[in-house]
Amino acid sequence: MSAEVVSHAVGARSSLKTRRLPKWTPAGVAGAAVVIALLAVYLPGAGGPVLTGIAAALIFLIGLTVLSAAVENGRAARNRLATSLVYAAFVLALAPLLSVAYTLLVKGSDRMSLYFLQVSMNNVSAFDNEGGAYHAIIGTLEQAGIATLITVPLGVLGAIYIVEYGRGRLSMLIRFFVDVMTGIPSIVAGLFILAFWVLIVSPYFNNGRPQYSGFAAALALSVLMLPTVVRSTEEMLRLVPGALREGAYALGIPKWRTILRIVLPTAAPGIVTGVMLAVARACGETAPVILVAFGNPAINFNPFSGGQESLSLFVYDQAGAASKYAPGRAWAAALTLVVLVLALTVAAKLLARRNKLGR
Amino acid sequence: MSHTSLTTTPVDAQGAGGGGALPRGRRFGAETVFRGAATAAGSMVLVIIVAIAIFLIVKAIPSLRADHESFFTYQQWFADSSPAKFGIAAIAFGTVLTSALALLMAVPVALGIALCLTHYAHRRVASVLGFFVDLLAAVPSVVFGLWGRDYFYRPVSDFAKWLHDNFGWIPLFGSNGPYGRSILLGSIVLAIMVLPIVTSLSREVFLQTPTQNEEAALALGATKWEMIRTAVLPYGRPGIIAAVMLGLGRALGETIALALTLGAVYNVSFDLLGPGGNTIAANIALKFGEANPTGRSALIASGLVLFAITLVVNMTARAIVYRRREFTGGAA
């Protein structure tokens, strides 16, 4: 390959310096493309702003490539084409993000009010214009909270096993399946808790009838959070310098105390970041909650008995209701959910930036 | 549970504290307890995966006994009626079709973004842009579903109409409206959702390309694109394959966004534009509310199939990553 490149470069030129397009060419071509697209597509009314944008992008791509092929050479043209495509990919990905954010803000703020956050849907039918998301917020917070309480000790201990104790086959196996477990679909986790907890275990506590509950949802969320927490904790524990451990051992501190008093506190900020990201993920899960918490229009503070709503389930329910008021509630609840999730995510990222162990 | 895992602790390693062996008298002290707890917690992962398989099988068997049609070839889903008739042919097909289409759209874009973040954008700009991609991953799937159903269907249906008008002779685009919830809409939404995963994994892979390889290519006179084609992409190929498979695993299991954007029609059809499409996961979410015990068991049976598929896909992907990690010695 390298030989071919070199011969190409030598054969294609007559003078010592190849001809290059001036630096402002891409900007110039872009401007021209926008003008042509406006004249050819937008003004005659052949398409809206989206189609005009696509036309402009295509004109830019073709124009710059042809120009470069004519003035420079084929290799430079391919290079410019690749650069444009790489940036185009980025714009393509940002477009839906911006669109989602814009739609959320516009449609979600219609119904958003203190009232919406303070009332439940008890005795409110889909065709009424009242109702709010209070019961769903309670559900989400309780379920995510219980899931965190279950997952954090289990996940951190599991990571300690992998990093500090694990040797040989079992440790390899566990590491491998932690990674595999991150890919378990949320609906499968929901079905598992449905089959295991709701249909088999819970009847023992509920006179033989299956008990849908917020706790079951928390269990399902734990299944989803566990691998994420183990993985991020594992990475953080590995970053703790070995010298710290050795220093502790040298002072005669047993291994378990070293881990609890030296290693964990050092890694704590990173672990908290990982947990917060996992919680944010879990808050947004809908599928398992549908299956095991079943929903409830009224406020239910007790996660162990009776159906419980969650924000994502509320969004889904309202999205499915055929009423002109339901979409407004769905969007407002979606906005609440996204604000909650984003607050957790951004806080976690900021915390990660202050983490001294670094990445 | 903890008993089984305790016995698997290597015997020779028992009591070996980091600071040398513990005093003999304290062999069964806190150290042993702590190590046992950690081992038990680690083994929990294995226990859960095995338990998922066992409990799903146990709860799926009653419906499979009651099924009056072939579970694997029948296309309809009448699990709640008696006699119960249901099969996963249509929904399994829909799952594979939407996931494949989503990956077809998402992978080139994701690789482009990953290259942009690692090799094109300025470092500080790249960290900000990478943050936006991470935000895309943080948006809950129900929000994407709602957005797709209430808003994004409009440009997509315009696009579908254009496709039909100009390429209607291709059977894929043969459907003549109404252009609302369709496989096309579902798979585009799905593509947006798997984008961040494929991006972040391939970004890590691209970052690991040895600088010597890149600089050698540039020193030989390669343009930036030629450098990427000859140094970055070949080096990252196993990683890219793994990233695509992990994206596939995510796409196969996606539930709510597809329940809101697909047409929930039970047939095996390649028609992308008309009302149609359904997946195993979406079917579970849609049918669960009104399911009787047999119906519930039938949904669990379909979930078992989904679990098996995603498990195989994920294990293959991780096996590729692990082999690569041993090969390069880095953390992939």
Q: How far is B230 from chain A (nearest CA, A)?
A: 8
Rounded-to-integer distance, Cα B330 and Cα A260, Å: 28
- Using an 8 Å Cβ cutoff, are B63 and B84 in contact? yes
Question: Does residue A9 belong to any structural domain of this protein?
Answer: no
The pLDDT tens digits for A56-66 are 888 888 888 88
Residue A167's region, left for phi above 0, alpha for psi from -120 to 50, else beta, is beta
Q: How far is B26 from chain A (nearest CA, A)?
A: 11
* Residues A325 and A184 placed together within one structural domain of the fold: yes
Q: Residue A227 above 90 pLDDT?
A: yes
What pLDDT shows up at residue B330?
A: 45
Q: How many domains does chain A have?
A: 2
CB spacing of A181 vs B299 below 8 angstroms: no
B10: preceding bond cis by omega (within 30 degrees): no
Q: What average pLDDT does range A164-191 have in this prediction?
A: 90
Distances (CA, A) of B312 to A249, B61, B102, B147: 43, 22, 19, 31
Q: What is the DSSP string of B89-120?
A: HHHHHHHHHHHHHHHHHHHHHHHHHHHIIIII
What is the SS3 assignment for B289?
coil
* Residues A124 and A103 placed together within one structural domain of the fold: no
What ipTM, to 2 d.p.? 0.85
* Residues of chain A found within 8 Å of residue B318, distances taken between Cβ atoms: 176, 179-180
* Residues A103 and A248 placed together within one structural domain of the fold: no
* Residues A171 and A215 placed together within one structural domain of the fold: yes
Question: Does residue A142 belong to any structural domain of this protein?
Answer: yes
Domain that holds residue A192: 118-354
Question: Which of A183, A200, A227 has its CB closest to that of B249?
Answer: A183
CB spacing of B116 vs A90 below 8 angstroms: yes
CB atoms within 10 A of CB A98: 10
Domain boundary pick from A77, A110, A143: A110
- Using an 8 Å Cβ cutoff, are B139 and A338 in contact? yes
Q: What average pLDDT does range A310-333 have in this prediction?
A: 89
* Closest by Cα among B313, B294, B157 to B246: B313
Distances (CA, A) of B95 to A319, B74, B89, B278: 22, 15, 10, 7
* Residues A275 and A298 placed together within one structural domain of the fold: yes
Domain boundary pick from A110, A142, A167: A110
Burial B67-96 (b: 16+ CB within 10 A, else e): bebebeebbebbbbeeebbbbbbbbbbbbb
- Using an 8 Å Cβ cutoff, are A122 and A296 in contact? no
Q: Would you tell me which residues 120-149 of chain B have a C-beta closer than 8 angstroms to some C-beta of chain A?
A: 120-121, 129, 131-136, 138-147, 149
* Closest by Cα among B135, B312, B320, B273 to A348: B135
Question: Does residue A286 belong to any structural domain of this protein?
Answer: yes
What pLDDT shows up at residue B13?
A: 43
What pLDDT shows up at residue B12?
A: 42
Domain boundary pick from A78, A110, A142: A110
The pLDDT tens digits for B185-241 are 999 999 999 999 899 889 888 988 899 999 999 999 899 999 999 999 998 888 898
The CATH class of B85-328 is mainly alpha
Distances (CA, A) of A284 to A78, A225, A331: 42, 12, 14
3-state secondary structure chain A: CHHHHHHHHHHCCCCCCCCCCCCCHHHHHHHHHHHHHHHHHHCCCCCCHHHHHHHHHHHHHHHHHHHHHHHCCHHHHHHHHHHHHHHHHHHHHHHHHHHHHHHHHHHHHHHCCHHHHHCCCCCCCCCCCCCCCHHHHHHHHHHHHHHHHHHHHHHHHHHHHHHHHCCHHHHHHHHHHHHHHCCCCHHHHHHHHHHHHHHHHHHHHCCCCCCCCHHHHHHHHHHHHHHHHHHHHHHHHHHCCHHHHHHHHHCCCCHHHHHHHHHHHHHHHHHHHHHHHHHHHHHCCCHHHHHHCECCCCCCCCCCCCCECCHHHHHHHHHHCCCCCHHHHHHHHHHHHHHHHHHHHHHHHHHHHHCCCCC
CB spacing of B31 vs A254 below 8 angstroms: yes
Q: Would you tell me which residues 63-102 of chain B have a C-beta closer than 8 angstroms to some C-beta of chain A?
A: none
Across A165-169, B19-23, B52-56, least confident range = B19-23
- Using an 8 Å Cβ cutoff, are A79 and B227 in contact? no
For chain B, domain boundaries: 2-66, 85-328
What pLDDT shows up at residue A158?
A: 95
What pLDDT shows up at residue B28?
A: 62
B204 interface with A at CB cutoff 8 Å: no
Specify the amino acid at residue A105: L
Those residues whose C-beta lies under 8 Å from the C-beta of residue B95, and which sit 6 or more positions away, are B252, B279, B280, B281, B306, B309
* Residues A34 and A137 placed together within one structural domain of the fold: no
Burial of B165 (0-12, 13-18, 19+ CB in 10 A): exposed
What confidence tier does A142 reach under pLDDT thresholds 50, 70, 90?
very high
* Residues A26 and A134 placed together within one structural domain of the fold: no
* Residues A89 and A135 placed together within one structural domain of the fold: no
The pLDDT tens digits for B243-259 are 998 899 889 999 999 99
- Using an 8 Å Cβ cutoff, are A153 and A327 in contact? no
Of A21-30, A144-153, B150-159, give the range with the top mean pLDDT.
Answer: A144-153
Question: Does residue A156 belong to any structural domain of this protein?
Answer: yes
* Residues A244 and A340 placed together within one structural domain of the fold: yes
* Residues A151 and A287 placed together within one structural domain of the fold: yes
CB spacing of A334 vs B138 below 8 angstroms: no
CB spacing of B315 vs A312 below 8 angstroms: no
Q: Which residue of A has its CA nearest to B283?
A: A187
Q: Residue A47 — φ and ψ, nearest 5°? A: -165, 165
Q: How far is A302 from chain B (nearest CA, A)?
A: 22
The pLDDT tens digits for B142-152 are 999 999 988 88
* Residues A223 and A274 placed together within one structural domain of the fold: yes
Specify the amino acid at residue A203: P
B189 secondary structure, DSSP code = H
Q: What average pLDDT does range A301-318 have in this prediction?
A: 90
Of chain A, the end-to-end C-alpha distance in Å amounts to 36
Across A24-28, A161-165, B174-178, B278-282, least confident range = B174-178
Rounded-to-integer distance, Cα B269 and Cα B40, Å: 48
What is the SS3 assignment for B85?
strand
* Closest by Cα among B144, B130, B119, B93 to B258: B144
Of chain B, the end-to-end C-alpha distance in Å amounts to 32
Burial A161-172 (b: 16+ CB within 10 A, else e): bbbbbbeeebbe
Specify the amino acid at residue B265: V
Specify the amino acid at residue B24: R
* Residues A67 and A197 placed together within one structural domain of the fold: no
Q: What average pLDDT does range A305-310 have in this prediction?
A: 88
